Amino acid sequence: MVNKVSIVGAGAVGSALAFHLFSRLSFKEIAVVDVAEGLAKGVSLDIEDTRSFFDSSTQIIGTDDFCAISNSDIVVVTAGVARKDGMSRQDLLKINAKVAKDVSMHIKEHAPSAIVIVVTNPLDLITYIFAKETGFERNRVLGMGSSLDSARLLNILYEACKVSTSCFEAFVFGLHNNDMIVSTDKIRVKGEAVSKFLNKEAIKKIQDKTALRGGEIVSFLKNRSASFAPSFSIFRLIEAIYEDKNEIIPVCALLQGEYGLRNLCVGVPCVINRKGIEKIIEIELTEEEKQKILIAKKEFLQLKDLGL
């Protein structure tokens, strides 16, 4: 049973997620926590006022007190700074690594049995910090990134082929940044290779567009990043846990030898159920993908530079 979900960070992504959860699933409690005074409280009261529309009996509370996350089954972390136009990833890492250490400490103290879903960017590195700082078993710390990238790929495929997204089998894995692996090789349209529908040039465009989508959105929004698709991607992950679905979803997981990588977090297809990550699936990679997934090793050197 998932009785309680806590969301740390009541900004754009956290507040949208709180609303999806309140309006679509039933819990004993949703707790929203944010260091910004009054923010989580305001968000929770606003969401609570939709109760009659959904006939919801879920209690939702908002506070700046971390004690509120006590006894959570799931804690989602959207706390930190979002990438703004012109901000370097290293700057973002410095700020959010500090937040991650702080929030990990609170989770360890107040919600030691929770499954932690990390959303804060840079996703792969921040997920690793949570895995290390909480010391939780690796099935209980996962990052949401590749499932959002996969949703973006499906939308872009829809635009290119004008075929219902339900006809596609397609997913993205690897790092949650421009080096993500958009495996066009594995895309199927009702069982057929996508190359039957699109030429090489069109497929390459789809790959590039998917990898650059997050940045494209930031370039328009300027001082904030995407929130609708991210919050719904987290919702889908929680739903798979809530319903014990054994669904295969690409999530950022701590690898211990899988894909030739050890002691780092990267997006890979996993079976998701009530335990969090039930199983990491090792799919066959092309030579190009094998090289690309190894970029994660370089990415993780940044943590060493910060003494983490």
CB-CB neighbours of 25 under 10 Å: 18
By C-alpha distance, which of 249, 241, 304 is closest to 280? 249
User: What is the rounded CA–CA span in Å between residue 294 and residue 296?
Assistant: 5
Q: Which residues bind ligand NAI (CB under 6 A)?
A: 8-14, 33-36, 39, 78-83, 96, 99, 102-103, 119-121, 123, 144-145, 148, 176, 224-227, 230
Whose Cβ is closer to ligand NAI: residue 105's or residue 283's?
A: 105
User: What is the rounded CA–CA span in Å between residue 140 and residue 117?
Assistant: 8
By C-alpha distance, which of 259, 290, 93 is closest to 181? 290
By C-alpha distance, which of 165, 163, 136 is closest to 72? 136
As given in the structure block, the two tokens for residue 230 are 């991210």
Whose Cβ is closer to ligand NAI: residue 154's or residue 226's?
A: 226
> Which of 20, 106, 110, 176 does the annotation list as catalytic?
176
DSSP state string for 11-76: SHHHHHHHHHHHHHS--SEEEEE-SSTTHHHHHHHHHHTTHHHHT---EEEEES-GGGGTT-SEEE
* Burial tier of 81 (Cβ tally within 10 Å: 0-12, 13-18, 19+): middle
Whose Cβ is closer to ligand NAI: residue 19's or residue 189's?
A: 19
Whose Cβ is closer to ligand NAI: residue 25's or residue 123's?
A: 123
Residue with the closest Cβ to ligand NAI? Answer: 11
Whose Cβ is closer to ligand NAI: residue 78's or residue 184's?
A: 78
Q: Helical H runs in the chain?
A: 12-24, 39-48, 51-54, 89-110, 123-134, 146-161, 200-221, 228-242, 287-293, 295-299, 301-305
Residue reference for tokens 């529908």: 197
Whose Cβ is closer to ligand NAI: residue 80's or residue 259's?
A: 80
Please indicate whether residue 176 is annotated as part of the active site: yes
C-alpha torsion 237→243→248→249, nearest 10: 0
Catalogue the active-site residues: 176
